[in-house]
Structure 1
Amino acid sequence: MPRFVALCALTLLAACKPPASDDYVTRTQIADERKAPSTPIASPDAEGATWATSPESGRLLYGKPGEMPLLSLGCEDGTLVYRRYVAADPDAKAVLALIGNGHVERLWIDAAQEGEAWLWRGTIAADDPRLDVLTGPRSVEATVPGAGSLRLNGSQRPAEFISRCAGEIIPPPIPEASPE
C-alpha cells in the first residue's frame, strides 16, 4: 500500500509540469534582443564628383558640387578621420574596403551619431602606410557592406591632405642618455 500511495503522489507531481514540446516557444515570452540590419542601399552615382576643401571645417570633401558630400577626410592632431555619408544602423561596426592604386586595404569603420543621424566614421594615424591606397593618381573603389560601393575619382588632393595631416604628428620625445 505505501508503494501505491508513493506512485500516486509521484504521478500527480509529474502532472503539474507539462513535458517538453515543439510549441514550447509559443508559451514563453521571447524578447527581441537583436534587430535585423537595414536593407542594403544601391551604390551612389559618383559621375562628376570631385575632391574639394571645405572652407568652414578644413575637411577634404568628395561629392558632386552643390550636393551633400559622399565621403570626407578630416585631420585631428595627426589622425585621419574618414566619414562615409550614408545612414548606418546605430552602434554598427564594419570594414571599409579600399581598392585602387595597386593596393587593397581594409579599415575599421563604425556607426557614429552626428546630430540626429548615424553615419559611418573611422580613424587611422595619418602616417599609416595603408593610406597609400588613397595617395595615388588613379581612382579608388570604397565599399562599406550594406552602404554601397563608391568610386573615388583619381586626384592628388587626398595625397596632399594626408601628407599635411601626417605632418601634424608630434614625434615621441627622445629619451635623454643616463649619466654614467
Structure 2
Amino acid sequence: MQRKNLYILVNFVTAFAVTLFFSCQSNSSETNNYLITEDAPMAEGYELNLKYTDSGRLTAILKTPKIKDYSNKNFGYQEFPEGIILDIIDKDGKISVVKADYAIFYKETGLIDMRGNVDVKTADSTHLEARQLYWDQSINWVFTDLPYKSTLADGTVNEADGFDANQDFTILNSRVNEGIMFIEE
C-alpha cells in the first residue's frame, strides 16, 4: 500500500513538473510581434495641429495628417509622409503658408527637406512653386537645385533651375533665369 502511494506521488510530481516546463515555454513568434524593430519609428502621430511659440508669441502652426518620429536613430529625424501645411506668423501677425506633399526634418542640423508640389505663399503675396525646397532653420536660408517658378506681387515672374535666398526672400540668388520683369522708366 505504501509503495502504491509512493508511486502515485511520484507520478503526480512528474506530471506537475512536466506541466510547469511546458507552461514556461516561450512562443517566440508571438513574442516578436511586441518587439520594436530597428527601422520602426519611436512614435507616430495622426491628424496633428502643432503650435510653436517664442517668448509667448505664436510663431508657427504645423498641420499634418501623419508624422513618424525617428528620434531613436543616431541621426534623428521626423518624417511627414503625407505632407504638411505650415503657417509662419511674423512679428506683425502676417501669415506665410508653406505646403508640401512630403517633408522630413533633421533635428541635429535644423534642415527641413520638402518635396512634391512645394507651394509657398508669403505674407507680401510672393508665390513660389517648386518640386523640392530645403529650409535651413539654423541660418534662416531656403534653397533648391531643381526648377522653380516664383511670382511676385507686382506680376514679375521668374523661372529658373535653382536658387538660394534668405527666408523672407529679400535676398535671392537665382540660377539660369527666364522670366518677365516689370521696370518703371
TM over 0.5, shorter chain: no
Higher relative strand content: 2
Larger RCO: 1 or 2 (CA < 8 Å, sep 6+): 1
From the CA coordinates, give the structure whose radius of gyration is larger: 2
Higher relative helix content: 1
| TM-score, normalization by structure 1 | 0.29
